[in-house]
Amino acid sequence: MNLFGVDIGGSGIKGAPVDLDRGDLAQERHKVLTPQPATPDAVADGVVEVVKHFEWTGPVGITFPGVVTDGITRTAANVDKAWVDQDAAKLLSDRLGGVGVTLLNDADAAGVAEMTFGAGKGRGGTVMMLTLGTGIGSALFVDGRLVPNTELGHLELHGREAEKHASTKAKEDEDLTWPHWAHRVQKYLAHLEMLFSPELFIIGGGVSRKAEKFLPHIEGIRAGIVPAQLQNNAGIVGAAMAAATRA
């Protein structure tokens, strides 16, 4: 069965039909740049462009980089503050012609996909998925069950938000070498390990394609650390899985 997933990020909005039997994209994804400022209406324009690219008319799952409860976006760290307390599921459904829209946190979507089809498949205990990109998203699983909206990229680390210190954007903005950035990620993982004692970290986001450049430099973490198998498509796959609940 194919359903459609859209992944809204701080820098890009990407989507594609997903084959839910295989847990992979059914067609090559289409991506547009996230508008700046990333207001609800402007982002909705991008979502519509992505969905219409495929002439899709059925239910759509959509991820959002912040806390989502019952279709309402509650936080907006890397998008415009107008998203706070926005009925985003209704807004996006209306803009897509009234189709069913299921909205969820972006890292939660990626984590569900990885736990079902990827690096976390069959894993029990405490597993933490981290998406490193414009910010840092997190998805926490206990014996395969999601604890939603953890948003652990906003934990304080060295006097500022962890994502300002250890995200991929921080690496790019500060022109950090891979070993230097890996050391920052290591400190962040150590902080999470102290708080949650996970047995496995899954590292996602676009940087997961370059895992060999930084994972070997991370030391002293008891938990296993693996790159996301679905890489940067995990959010799209997880969004489509969420849409299946309305199909």
Q: What are the tens digits of pLDDT across the range 143-165?
A: 999 999 999 999 999 899 999 99
Residue 247 has pLDDT above 90, yes or no: no
Domains identified in the chain and CATH numbers = 2-108+234-243 (3.30.420.40), 123-229 (3.30.420.40)
Q: What are the tens digits of pLDDT across the range 6-42?
A: 999 999 999 999 999 999 999 999 999 999 999 999 9
Nearest by Cα to 26 from 246, 205, 240: 240
Nearest by Cα to 202 from 230, 236, 183: 230
Residues 72-82 have a mean pLDDT of: 96
Q: What are the tens digits of pLDDT across the range 185-241?
A: 999 999 999 999 999 999 999 999 999 999 999 999 999 999 999 999 999 999 999
Contacts from 91-94 at CB under 8 Å and sequence distance 24+? 91/40, 91/44, 92/44, 92/47, 92/60, 92/62
In this prediction, residue 41 carries a pLDDT of 98
In this prediction, residue 245 carries a pLDDT of 82
Q: What are the tens digits of pLDDT across the range 103-130?
A: 999 999 999 999 999 999 999 999 999 9
